[in-house]
Amino acid sequence: MTTRRNLLLAGAGLAFLAGCRSRPSASPAPLADVLLVETARGLVRVSAAGEQLLGTAAALSHDGRHLYVSRDDGMAQVDPVTGASLRELDHGGGWMPRTVSADGRMCVLTSPPADRFSPVLLSTPGGPRKYRLPGVIEPDALSTDGTALFVLEWLPATAPDHYRVRLLDLATGAMHPLNTRDKTPVPAGAEEEMRGEGRQAVLSADRTMLFTLYTHQPGHAHTRDLLSGRPGNAHAFVHVLHLTDRWAYCLDLPHPFGEGPAAAHAVAADGRHIVVADLASGKLAYADSQALTVSKVIDIPVAAQLTATPGQAHGAGVKAAVSPGTAGAALALTRERVFIGGSDTVTVLDRAGDAVVAKWQVPSAIRGMGLSADGSRLYVGTADQVICLNTTSGTALSKTPVDGLTTLRHVHQST
């Protein structure tokens, strides 16, 4: 089973933290930051000292600040910046880390469903707690107070092909509907059921809301449509999950968002805005992250190679998602500029006037982007390497080989 975030790096087998290794970097200039990169080998931490292979059984918090890695007899919490083990957790083998709390204190793990039940293990500072949940249940995110877990409940349990988001009370083990945006429980029969492609997810600047971009949702009816009796037909929206107030809301994106392939879409957020790009149609949408309304849509260059890139088909218990090895649209934001990655080009927009101020070409299709903490360096993942560009001039500052790179996930300031 995969997750809709595609940030939890599940795979076959479990990796040993003790197997982490380093090798010299071949970069022509020292790497100034620490990178977390998904590869064919699993998650890799890349620094000026070389590579640290963390493997396929690793889970990152949604902002990349916290990391857990499974090993044969348990799990370790690892500092993403230094690569050092922070604490060892002996839960026994066979558990896969799936989602991490925003403060890094808790991690949710799963093992394969059996007898129509889903085993879930919650690792906390006070010790582990185990749950045996009926049906096909996938952990999604923890509430900010650590008392509840947002889960995807796949339906029907015998042959799942769609899901709904529900709330697991960690004290009682009972599951409940989410709240509406006015903080009242969703009535019976009005819970949204989704089949679409979850492209990307980002945390709000205050880390209280999770924004997940969904595409290809023909016929989807939001809770507000179900309550009012209106038909639903949203092709793309941002699913907003409030991790503190425990409500969900779908921010609809206007046509033509969602008409093209999922790989052509990307989402990013800052303290004021949610920004969504569609490089198949050449559109960029700004939405107010508090009012949750689209404020403007502007034209951007089309990336031709992203107009027909297929997503990964979904089957029983697996939601459609862009293949990790597929290059796709990417976004990065500073206060002054928007960096849009598509095909082999980074397009730079001036946020004050929405004008294209630069275009920078890289050697191959872009597989993720990330900014340094001060916004002066833009890291661009491409085939088998990460290129660091000066955000003012576009000059290449360093080129770091990473074998089998599939996605650049996060950039951290080096200590």
Q: How confident is the model at residue 307 (pLDDT cuts 50, 70, 90)?
A: low
Higher pLDDT, 217 or 169: 169
pLDDT surpassing 70 at residue 3: no
Q: How high is the pLDDT of residue 185?
A: 79
Per-residue model confidence as pLDDT tens digits over 227-262: 334 444 557 999 999 999 999 998 999 999 988 888
Mean pLDDT check: name the lowest of 18-32, 147-161, 175-189, 303-317.
303-317
Q: How high is the pLDDT of residue 390?
A: 97
Report the alpha-carbon distance of residue 170 to residue 201 in Å, rounded. 24
Q: How confident is the model at residue 2 (pLDDT cuts 50, 70, 90)?
A: very low
Q: How high is the pLDDT of residue 198?
A: 75
pLDDT surpassing 90 at residue 340: yes
Q: How high is the pLDDT of residue 412?
A: 97
Q: How high is the pLDDT of residue 183?
A: 78
What does pLDDT average to over the chain? 84
Higher pLDDT, 367 or 196: 367
Helix (H, G, I), strand (E, B) or coil at 288: strand
Report the alpha-carbon distance of residue 155 to residue 134 in Å, rounded. 12
- Please tell me the CATH code under which domain 195-324 is placed: 2.40.128
Which helix (H) or strand (E) segment holds residue 241: the answer is strand 236-242
Q: Give the mean pLDDT of 213-239.
A: 59
Fold exhibited by the domain 329-415: Thrombin, subunit H (2.40.10)
Evaluate whether 195-324 and 329-415 have a shared fold: no
Cβ atoms of 165 and 248 within 8 Å: the answer is: yes
Expressed in angstroms, the distance from the first to the final Cα of the chain is 36
Per-residue model confidence as pLDDT tens digits over 105-134: 999 999 998 889 999 999 998 899 999 999
CA angle 26, 28, 30 (to 5 degrees): 85
Q: Indicate the pTM of the whole model.
A: 0.85
pLDDT surpassing 60 at residue 18: no
Mean pLDDT check: name the lowest of 186-195, 233-242, 356-365, 381-390.
186-195
- The percent of residues in the chain predicted with pLDDT above 90, rounded, is 67
- For residue 64, CA distances in Å to 8, 10, 189, 371 come to 10, 16, 36, 13
Q: How high is the pLDDT of residue 309?
A: 37
Mean pLDDT check: name the lowest of 37-41, 133-137, 157-161.
157-161
pLDDT surpassing 50 at residue 312: no
User: How is the chain split into domains, by residue range?
Assistant: 195-324, 329-415
